[in-house]
A and B are shown apart, each in its own frame.
Chain A
Amino acid sequence: MQHFQEIEHTADWAFRAQGRDLAHLFANAARGLFELQGSTGTGETTTVREVAASGKDHETLLVNWLNELLYLQETQQETYSRFEILEISDTHLRARVHGHPNRPEGKLIKAVTFHGLEIRHSENGLQATIVVDV
């Protein structure tokens, strides 16, 4: 299964993430977020951070999770490439993210939006189309 795919959007960026279940979808969406910014997703990781997010439903939880990662990226000047979802419910998530100092090399994403966001069932499990502000 391709974990994410960039799709056309006039002003900003959009990508479709897939996963066999909610935890897998959330981890793949996070990989997509960083790979779109030029992170290769490989190489040694030297920093580990615990991340928690909450939201009233799966979509809000997904947006808050990804925005939390962007917040860490910007304030800690780090790039993340491996995402372990330790716990996930309908409204909460706890994860461990692995990365390294330095920002991704490509163009950076400012924020993840709710635009047209819906987590849908697909043949491979779940998918979501995510529009980001760049």
Chain B
Amino acid sequence: MVQVSQHLWEIPRSFRDDMRVPARLYADEALLDAALGDRSLDQLVNTATLPGIVKYAIAMPDIHQGYGFPIGGVVATRLPEGIISPGGVGYDINCGVRLLASEASVQEVSPFLAELASILYRNCPSGVGVHGEIKLQDAELDKVLVDGARWARERGYARAEDLQHTEEFGAMPGADPEYVSHKARERGRSQIGTLGAGNHFIEVDRVAEVFDETAAEHLRLLPDQVVVQIHCGSRGFGHQVCEDYVARFQTTVRDYGIELPDRELVCAPFESVEGQQYAHAMACAANFAFANRQVLAHRIRRSFEQALDGKVSSFDLHQVYDIAHNMAKIEEHEVGGQRMRLCVHRKGATRAFGPRSPGLPDDQRNIGQPVLIPGSMGTESYVLVGTHGSMEQTFGSTCHGAGRVWSRMRAKKTVRGQQLRQELESRGIAVRTGSMPGLAEEAPQAYKDVSRVVDVVARAGIGKKVARLEPIAVIKG
């Protein structure tokens, strides 16, 4: 491995015969050690073999071992010959983060925090396979799949500014429900407005530190303000879309003569019939996730009203931004001095478009795209903005979170959920969860230090720090 600069390492093409491009990792020495501690770099090298890949297979400092692609990876393929891979997006298509910011301060909300946490837990159903109160018939489900958060606006779950402040303005183009299976529909039908399980959560935070006052002012973020993060995705609907196409592409790769080092990397040329079918279905799942986070945002606003009305003078929540961190998108980037149309896969990585990039809302155009980086449970989180550096180096991408270092098995053996809950509560963090073992698996010790991850992307110039958030309440599935 060659050190390219202080925070950038490269595995050259000569490392393995089947690599088409070098692999690059953003890390400091401690994060590099963490990446070497599991199979994540082998998985990164595997992605460097994908047909049509350009520049580098890129890993963010929060990289960790996944299945097929590593989590924290960015792979861009050149169109029309490049591939699209369902495994490069992941099972939770358009898993992402939404940040809402309240007009209230932590001092105003604190006396009512326990009640607010309980109301949030009650209003936002959690757990794998949990059903919500909205059950969609076929025609309306189709509208969700095509219109995403715009569907939610028609149903009264969204404000116009929410859509403005959502990646793709809340609706991925190219969605076609014809390419979605009956099973995906059955799984998704009653899951809109539900949180799910795993590492998904709703977290109430306070703005603990502002690094960039101009950007913070644009985003309407102030020190000590109460904000809410929502981390979830497309639920069983997205899982089924991924499953369907990973299974189907097992034969597609053979038809196109594509050889791969791992079957979970299966893919199809983007412009092929099969590639297009997946792209249409993936966009449906992405829109399901945008609609899901939008309905949750609506429920969070309602929860604030129920908990704070008549007690706090103004507590309204505006949407700062909503970003995806499991997605493949068609974008134009400069590669070797040429503008190229690319399919950019970000799996556990976030789009981080720099100032004045296309696709940004007018009021955020000059500061760059907001990037939301949740930390592990009970630790800090960050708001960043994209930079010219991310456009030049990483196809407009940056990290997505802390990144695991412990297996779930080790976390469960080492940490007791009940004890962790007490520790968090002794620090003034209200915890509401349906599963103590689930809580233990997400213990902060199981993750890398998010501040270190964010420092690396900031120093490498692929993200700029705007604000740091500290948790005051955690709601988990």
Interface residues of A (CB under 8 A from B): 6-13, 55-57, 59-60, 63-64, 67, 71, 73-75, 77, 103, 106-117, 131, 133-134
For A132, give the chain B residue with the smallest CB separation. Answer: B67
- Tally of A-B residue pairs with Cβ under 8 A? 112
Instruction: Name the residue in B91, B243, B251, B262 with the highest tally of chain A Cβ atoms < 10 Å from its Cβ.
Output: B243
Q: Digit string of B56-99 for contact with A (CB within 8 Å is 1, else 0)?
A: 00000000111110010000000000000000001110000000
Closest chain B residue to A57 by CB distance?
A: B250
Q: In the complex the two chains form, is B129's CB within 8 Å of A108's CB?
A: yes
Extra A-B contacts (9), CB below 8 Å, given A75-B186, A111-B239, A115-B68: A9-B408, A11-B71, A55-B247, A64-B247, A71-B187, A113-B67, A114-B263, A115-B263, A133-B92
CB-CB nearest in chain B for A117 = B263
Nearest CB of chain A from residue B460's CB, rounded to whole Å: 23
B128 contacts the other chain (CB 8 A): yes
A113: contacting residue among B246, B410, B435, CB under 8 A: B246
Cα–Cα distance between A132 and B263 once the two chains are bound (Å): 14
B263 and A59: CB pair below 8 A?
yes
- Nearest CB of B to A37, in Å: 9
> How far is B68's CA from A110's CA once the two chains are assembled, in angstroms?
16
Whether B67 contacts A10 by the Cβ 8 Å rule is: no
Q: Which of B40, B68, B263, B438 contacts A10 (CB 8 A)?
A: B40
Q: Which residues of B contact A133 (CB under 8 A)?
A: 67, 90-92, 239
* CB neighbours of A67 from chain B (8 A): 243, 247
Chain B interface size, as a band, is 35 or more
Assess the B129–A103 pair: CB atoms within 8 A: yes
Closest to B65 in A: A10
- Shortest distance in angstroms between A55's beta carbon and chain B's nearest beta carbon? 7
Residues of B within 8 A of A75 (CB): 186-187
The 3 closest A-B pairs by CB, nearest first: A115-B67, A108-B128, A74-B129
In the bound complex, residues from chain A placing their C-beta under 8 Å from that of B231 are none
A77–B405 Cα distance when bound, in Å, is: 32
A92–B276 Cα gap in the complex (Å)?
28
Contact A12 B240 (CB under 8 A): no
What's the dominant secondary structure at chain A's contact region? loop
Contact A10 B64 (CB under 8 A): yes
Residues of B close to A111: CB separation below 8 A: 91, 239, 242-243
Asked if residues B187 and A107 are in contact (CB atoms below 8 Å), the reply is: no
Residues of B within 8 A of A56 (CB): 250-251
Q: What's the minimum C-beta distance from A6 to chain B, rounded to whole angstroms?
A: 6
Q: A110-B128, A114-B263 are in contact. Are A10 and B92 (CB under 8 A)?
A: no
Nearest CB of A to B392, in Å: 29
Q: Would A114 and B129 count as touching, CB distance under 8 A? A: no
30 A-B pairs in the complex with CB atoms less than 8 angstroms apart: A7-B409, A9-B407, A11-B66, A11-B404, A11-B408, A12-B66, A56-B250, A60-B250, A64-B247, A71-B183, A73-B129, A74-B236, A77-B129, A103-B127, A103-B128, A107-B197, A108-B129, A109-B128, A110-B128, A111-B239, A113-B67, A114-B246, A114-B250, A114-B266, A115-B66, A115-B68, A133-B67, A133-B90, A134-B197, A134-B198
